[in-house]
Amino acid sequence: MLTRVLLVFALICGMGSAAMAEETKVVALGLGDRAVTEEELAKGETPPVPRFNSPGVAYVLAANLKEGDILEIALVKDGKPLMHNTETLGEDKAQSLLQAGKQAVPTGGWPEGSYQASVKVTRDGKPIIEQASDPIPFE
């Protein structure tokens, strides 16, 4: 009887700790006219949307990442990636910020079209998050 009680207790404790483990999630995803900081995004601040004559940076702030996860961000125009950045995590991280884009204005400005930020998180060779921001024109 004691063995069964201990087994039930162990199962309950194991389930509780698994439920307490936080899921990997995207905290912030978007486009800005400059690079952003984790502190800004954690406060809910976002940079202005890029214009045709400003820098353009895609950013993602992801939470609860595990060692070995691959975090990818891309600046996408009309469904085609223009610039991307990838990070493979060497350790568990509560949060990770990754950005891709241009800190300067492209010659002649950004071409007409819809732009968006696209993120992918891969764990053990399988995508666990694939998400994109709403498309916006760089006016």
For every residue of 50-66, DSSP letters joined together read P-TTS-EEEEEEEEEE-
The first and second tokens of residue 66, run together, are 């595990």
- Over residues 47-71, the pLDDT tens digits come to 999 999 999 999 999 999 999 999 9
pTM above 0.85, yes or no: no
- Over residues 116-132, the pLDDT tens digits come to 999 999 999 999 999 99
Check residue 20 and report its DSSP letter: H
- State how far Cα 77 lies from the chain centre: 18
- With 90 as the cut, is the pLDDT of residue 11 above it? no
**101 forms bridges with which residues in the sheet?**
57
How many Cβ atoms are within 10 Å of 17's Cβ, its own excluded?
Answer: 9
d(CA 40, CA 75): 20
For the chain, list the domains and their CATH numbers.
23-137 (2.60.40.10)
d(CA 25, CA 60): 10
d(CA 128, CA 112): 32
